[in-house]
A and B are shown apart, each in its own frame.
Chain A
Amino acid sequence: GAVVSQHPSRVICKSGTSVKIECRSLDFQATTMFWYRQFPKKSLMLMATSNEGSKATYEQGVEKDKFLINHASLTLSTLTVTSAHPEDSSFYICSARVGPGNTEAFFGQGTRLTVV
C-alpha cells in the first residue's frame, strides 16, 4: 500500500509553546489529507480535512486557531498546535487518500504529544 510518513513520532513541549507535526505522502500525491486525534482506548476522532492549496475544513468543536493546518503541496500537510496546554496532550494521526476517486486512506505512524 501507499506510504504516509509522520514526524515526529513523539514530542514533549512546554505549556504555551507551539509544536508542528508533519505528514508526508512518500510515493503518491495526496490531494486530500486528514488529521485525527485519538484518546486512550478510544477511536479516531476526525479533526479536519485538508485539501492541497485551499483552507482546511474543520470538524465541529475543533478550534481552527489552535490547530493550524497547512497543505502547501501534494505531498505535505502540517498540523501546528499553537499555545499548547496539557489538555492538548494526545495521539495525533494523519492520513491521506491516493486520489479523489480512491476511497482508501493510508495512515501515518502517529505523533504522541505531551504538553508539560
Chain B
Amino acid sequence: EDQVTQSPEALRLQEGESSSLNCSYTVSGLRGLFWYRQDPGKGPEFLFTLYSAGEEKEKERLKATLTKKESFLHITAPKPEDSATYLCAVSRAGYSTLTFGKGTMLLVSP
C-alpha cells in the first residue's frame, strides 16, 4: 500500500525566514511525486511534478527536490501570501490515482 507522510503538520515562520517541508513516501514503482498548494475552502493548485531522484524544480520562492525516499519543498524568504496548506502526493506506475499526504499547514507572519 502506498504511503505518504508529511512533516511537520504545521509550521509557523516569520516573513523572510526560510525553511523546508518534508514528504516521505513508500510506493511500489514511483511514477511521479506531486506538490500542491491548497488555500482554505479551495481546491488544490498544482505546483510541481518530480519523476526521478535528483530532480529539482523551482517556481518563485519554492524549490522542490526528490530522493528515492522523500521530497522536500524549500521555501526561500517566504511572504505572508505563501501561507497555505501544502500537499504532497504520489502516483504509482500503471495506476492513474494519486495518494495524498495529510499536508503541512504553513503560516507566514509579517
A residues sitting closer than 8 Å to B (CB atoms) are: 1, 4, 6, 32, 34, 41-44, 46, 49, 91, 93, 95, 97, 100, 103-110, 112
Chain A contact residues, majority secondary structure: strand
A107 close to B45 (CB less than 8 A): yes
A46 close to B32 (CB less than 8 A): no
B101 close to A43 (CB less than 8 A): yes
B41 close to A106 (CB less than 8 A): no
On chain A, the residues within 8 Å of B42 by CB distance are 109-110
Complex partner residue of A44 from B32, B87, B91, B96, CB under 8 angstroms: B87
Q: Does B100 have its Cβ within 8 Å of any Cβ on chain A? A: yes
Bound Cα distance A1, B49 (Å): 12
Bound Cα distance A42, B98 (Å): 15
Identify the 6 closest CB pairs spanning chains A and B, nearest first. Answer: A107-B43, A103-B32, A110-B43, A43-B102, A43-B100, A107-B44
6 additional contacts (CB under 8 A) given A4-B43, A42-B102, A103-B34: A43-B100, A91-B41, A93-B43, A95-B43, A103-B31, A105-B46
Bound Cα distance A89, B41 (Å): 14
Complex partner residue of A6 from B41, B43, B45, B102, CB under 8 angstroms: B43
Min CB–CB distance A33 → chain B (angstroms): 10
Report the tally of A-B residue pairs with Cβ distances under 8 A.
52
How many chain B residues sit at the interface, stated as a range, is 20 to 34
Min CB–CB distance B42 → chain A (angstroms): 6
**With A43-B87, A103-B32, A104-B34: A93-B44 Cβ-Cβ less than 8 Å:** yes
Min CB–CB distance B33 → chain A (angstroms): 10
**With A43-B102, A107-B36: A49-B97 Cβ-Cβ less than 8 Å:** yes
For residue B36, which residue of chain A has the nearest CB?
A: A107
A44 close to B49 (CB less than 8 A): no
Bound Cα distance A42, B101 (Å): 9
Bound Cα distance A1, B87 (Å): 17
Interface centre among A46, A91, A107, A108 (most CB of B within 10 A): A107
Bound Cα distance A95, B103 (Å): 18
